[in-house]
Structure 1
Amino acid sequence: MKLGKVDTAEIRRHMRWARHHSGRVARAVHRHGFSTRKRVIASLVVLAIVPIVLVQLFWSTTSLLPNTYVGSVNLSNMAKDEAVTKLNEAYEATKVPVYFSDSDEVAVQPTLGNLGYTIDNEARVDAYSYPFAMRLVPYSLFWYQFFMSKGNPQVARSDEALVSFVNERFGEDCEFEPVNGTVAYIDDELQAVEASRGGSCDPDEMLREFRGVGAQLDLAKITLTGTSTAPEVSTADAEAEYDRLVKQLGGGVVLMVEDKEQKIEKKVVEPWIEYSVVEGKLVAGINDEKAAAWLSDKYGEKYTWDAGTTTIHLVDYAEKSQDTGKSGSALNNVSTIGEIEKDLQGAQKTARLMIDSIAPAIEYTREYSPSNATLSAVIKKFASSHGGSYGVKMVELSGERRNAEYNSTKTFITASTYKMFVAYSVLLQIEKGAMHWTDRSAGGQTVSTCFDKMLKLSDNDCAVALFLKVSYPVVMADAHAIGATHTNFVRGKDLTSTAADEAHLLSLLYTGQILSQQASRDRWIETMKGNVYVSGIPTGIPGVVVADKVGFMDGLLHDAAIVYSKKGDYVLIIMTNGSSWGNIAALAKEIEAAR
């Protein structure tokens, strides 16, 4: 048995003295004629009593005796200051079992500390003494404490703290939700956390009952009039999950790094573990931030490097050569964390470090052949012989890959063709995750709905809402970044562009040189195929599929199209001021015939 804090060197000295003098006593017994049997008994008595009495005489006055208990709190052999701390904590952590009248299950168990109690056992413990007279009684060290008065603690209670706790935990109206049992990392270890029932009760009755609770280690239950609600996850469920998790986790998580097994130690993984409730069951998860920081620190340097750049050389939007850059590498912490979660959930026995290959960035160099004289002459002749001003650009995307133009760099107010640039910026935002199709836009409509209405119906409310959602500066910056540098969108001023810039935009769209996802490009083109205003280019080339966006405002009439001709696909932009839809249709017909 562990003894109190005594001077062991002093005890050893006295034990040697006791053994020496025990021998002298034994010899004295022999000289006085005691029988052999009596001499043995007397010697044993001396040897049994003297050492323990010496221990008792030198037992520290600042240590409690063995077998010292206050209620169920074991204070045996503790220094008094440590015993005070332990006893104070035990009182403040003592739970008050609260039941509701409709159930025989504990609803909640606040502690005395929760109820505003401050409990001090210093004077009480200091009064625990071991009198000198009792120290002389053999073996009193082990039984005197049973007869010693244990006294009572000094108690203070803050009613303000009690009311604050009740309002915060149960609400001012005593309407509170159940709390699920769970498993959590608390005080440097995983623990099963108790559940508690929700309920509805009389707040005045609750306060009255709590005020009547005494500062004791063993408390009687409180029963409140009211109804209670069971949690989805009980304490038993939490304890069962804790047992399963401990068994599953073992010494840690086995992580496959390339083709080698490594172990993430248990002490590393435990602080990451967080639980959620899914369909009434506890599901083990991982704190993304903590796990990602550790993974990056452990593996980031070895498995992360930047990708290079692939340069694609284009002539008239067609690839002629390519200089391929090196791929990069990056940890996929999200997927790795998912792997660890599956391991903790018991879905697999080994997790895998997920590493992504990063494709090199793509840059383009562009060259353009001189305009085709024949086709350009057709356009010029038509523009010269028909009223109004024209800006025209045609780019063949297959076959001979000719291009033709007339005043293609002339600046026009865009009317509604600016909506193509808005569409591009919206798709960029969606690909980045900064915007979603389900986000709300004009009049509560989704971005998806407004995107379609903007391109099919030329809906102005939707276009303006999306323009503002992305912002004017961003839309213009996106246009300039792809080479449409004569396109300018400044809020409060006319929105302007050129036939060349709009042809460049649609040529990049068709050839897949803008946007990172084919689904984005398909969505844009298919939506423009549904344009309802077809008096321009589609009328001039009947029977041919056209994906176009028109613009009309005052005397401005524009049509920007991808034409899917049997002779080969091409982009055709016709911007006019003071012309007509009939003239635009006629020009489209002449260009198609001349190809």
Structure 2
Amino acid sequence: MTNKRARAADKAKRLHKKVKQTYRSAMPGQKRHRILIWAAFFVVAAILTVQILYPLDRALPLARMNGRWVGWQSETDLANQATLVFQRSKIKFIIGGKPSGVYTLSEAGADIKAEEMASRLANYPFWLRLVPFSIFWQLPNVQTLDLAFALPTLEVFAQKTSSQLSQPPINAGVAFKDGQLTAVNDMPGHLVSVQAIKNVLQTAKYSFAGMTELRIDAKLQEASRRSAAFASVRNQAEQALARPLTIRAADQTFAVGNAEKASWLEFGETTEGGTTLVINRQKLQSSIDNWSKAAGRPAGQTNINIENGREVSRTTGEKGSQIDAASIVQPVTDYLLRGQGSGVILAAMTDLEPSVIYNNRYTPTEDGLRAYVRDKARNGAWFSIRQLGGSGWSADADAEESVVSASTYKLFVAKRLFDEINAGGISWSDPMLDTTVSGCFDRMTIASTNPCAVAWLDRFGRQNLNDFVYRLGFSRAVTFTHAQATHVSAGDLTKFMVGLETGSLISGAQRERLLYSLSHHPYRYGIPTGSQAREVYDKVGFLWNYVHDTAIVRHPRGTYVMTIMTQGKSYAAIAAMTRDIERIMYP
């Protein structure tokens, strides 16, 4: 045993000596040089350690978005920032160098791919992490918004916008100035095609500036009747102006001068295709309106006082009077263009009904609350309100109607996810996309981005999710299989939030986690802004021109749940309606 120990010790000494010799032969002779080498080794080792351990969901140190340094920020925070910019972003069409309309990106059918934008800023492949100092030359930079367009919504928007941006040509006309009859030049128009609008929207780069200018090449449209044809109608125009014209209305007499008569004349087309003069009805109507102001009598105003949707009193305004345009247009046309009839035209007067003003008042009662939401629902809104404390009021307006859900459907996805976790089929730490189930949940409920939610829809199955929510007692207004987009109703969202608040639908740690998400997202401009409550837990949805908010509101005078779904409105409008509703419930 002693000999074996001696041999082992001797072997160790020889190995140590060999290593020492190798080290001395490989290292510089001077000590300071050896220190520098060891220092470099530890620096490289430290850098590699940092690179390998750098979080997968954090922006790289030198990442920039919209010209700002965003290093170390989480993907969720970056997605939030991009989404907030998208909500405020607008587009302005430029045609022929002139601005011709401002629209929001949402109403054009755009939706932001915020999670993909954030992922680009955090992308750091593992093989690259093994390259020393590679973290310092990774300079991801996101300067434009990544968007996806819903083609059906884009088509509808392009059709509507095409008619708004296109301008028909204006035929030539005549004018009488300084005693001379002259031609008024025709004005070309332009046609903005549906396809041109779709192309420019889908290929443009959208900045973070809030307004993106989109230049469209419009097709020129010449007027069918040009000023060069003036010679052929000059004699007709001179005859029209030579005919004296007087309009008598009520107790007023209006002598029409040549300049005014000439302004009504424009070039038209005969049945044989030649050029003739016609009356421009719009310009003649402008003159009739001016005569009506002098000869007619303005109508009064009827005030109708309504309380809780029922009329309680009214003050009837007096009728006014105005010139009946039909008694003027044809006689003027026949006389000036064909010399038929009299040069003195007697205008008929017609009654002008008083304007009606509705003065709505809502009492601080359940009837008042219900009347308010019914009135607001007439103009693109859906309501469902339940008081869980206090008087226990309830109010609905079109609450059962199935509406495009936007992101509010993610509440039902969260419920299904919780059930899968409880059954042991999914764990919070399971990998998902480029993060974990836990990270995906935060992205879905806080950043309100779509990839994780869509991944769960694919995993659970859309029809299976329909069956799941129906078994829970929700109505068939909730559907994940609608051809356009997922749909929900205001009533079903309120039912969900009531179950969340009472713990009957979701309880324990999962309830607390969802409530945390609903109070820590950045989109707090609707119900939370309008309410006086300090504790508001809400889930918003915004898609195309739909803007929704469903919330648990822990008001100082009682907790209530409210869902406001809107189309063509804003979070500011939801906040204003929230203030009105709380003034009724808690005067």
Both structures adopt the same fold (TM-score exceeding 0.5): no
**TM-score of Structure 1 vs Structure 2, range by shorter chain:** 0.3 to 0.5
Higher relative contact order (CA 8 A, sep 6+): 2
With the length of structure 1 as denominator, give the TM-score of the two structures: 0.36
Bigger Rg, which one: 1
